[in-house]
Amino acid sequence: MTPDRRIPGDWFDQPVPGNVEIHDEAYVETAFSFLLYRSQLAAGVRIGRGASVYLGTMFDVGRQGRVSCGAFTLVNGARIVCDAEILIEDYVLISWNVFLMDTYRVPADPALRRRAVIAAASGEPRRVDGHVEARPIHIKRAAWIGFDACVLPGVTIGEGAIVGARSVVTEDVEPFTIVVGNPARMVRRIEPGETTP
C-alpha cells in the first residue's frame, strides 16, 4: 500500500478507509470494495497475510460491523453484509457472487418496514439498516463456499466444509462435510486426502 492508502494501479480514484487493516502481503484489487463501508470500529475490516480480495467484492459493513479475512483466504467477488461480525478463518475460499449476511437489516413487520424505508428516504446515506438484530457468521479454516451461495445470519460453517453452488445456508454446517441446496442439507462427509469433487 502507498502511504495515502491508495491501491497502486487502482481504477477507482479513492483511498482505502483509514480503519481498514490490510497486511503488506495481502492483495486487494480495488478500493471500490469499500464504497459501502461505514464501520466506526478501530479495525472494521482486517485482511490477513497472503489473502486475496478480488473485483466485485463489496464490504457492506455497518457502523458497528467487523469483518476479518484470515491468512490466505480468497474472496472472489462476494457481497459481505455485516452489522455485527463476520469472521473468515485462514485458507477459506469464497467463490463468485457469494452473499454472506449477518443481518437482514429490514424488519419483518410491514408497519416497521414502512417506517424504515421512510427514514431511509431522508437519511444520509439513503439506506435501510440497523433495524434488526445482527447475528455473527463464522466460517472456519479451509472451508469452501461455491458460487452464488448465500450464508444467512448466525451460521457457523465448520472447518474444511464445502457449500455447493447456489445453496442457501440457514443452519450450522458440520466440519468436513458437503452441504447443498435450499435450505442447504448435508449430502456426505469429505474423506481425508480426497481430491474430488
Query: Closest approach of Cβ 187 to ligand COA, in Å?
Result: 4
Query: Closest approach of Cβ 8 to ligand COA, in Å?
Result: 26
Contact between 172 and 157 (Cβ < 8 Å): yes
What is the distance between the terminal CA atoms of the chain, rounded to a whole angstrom?
37
Query: Closest approach of Cβ 4 to ligand COA, in Å?
Result: 33
Question: Which of the 8 DSSP states describes residue 117?
Answer: H
Binding footprint of ligand COA on the chain (CB under 6 A): 93, 95, 146-147, 162, 164-167, 178, 180-181, 187, 196-197
**63 vs 188, beta carbon nearer ligand COA:** 188
Q: Which three cell numbers stand for residue 140?
A: 472456519
**84 vs 165, beta carbon nearer ligand COA:** 165
Query: Closest approach of Cβ 179 to ligand COA, in Å?
Result: 8
Query: Closest approach of Cβ 155 to ligand COA, in Å?
Result: 17
**160 vs 164, beta carbon nearer ligand COA:** 164
**24 vs 191, beta carbon nearer ligand COA:** 191
**1 vs 186, beta carbon nearer ligand COA:** 186
Encode 87-107 in three state secondary structure: EECCCCEECCCCEEECCCCCC
Sole residue written with cell 469483518: 67
Sole residue written with cell 458497528: 64
- With vertex at residue 30, the alpha carbon angle to CA 28 and CA 35, rounded to the nearest 5 degrees, is 115
Parallel/antiparallel/unpaired status of strands 156-157 and 137-139: parallel
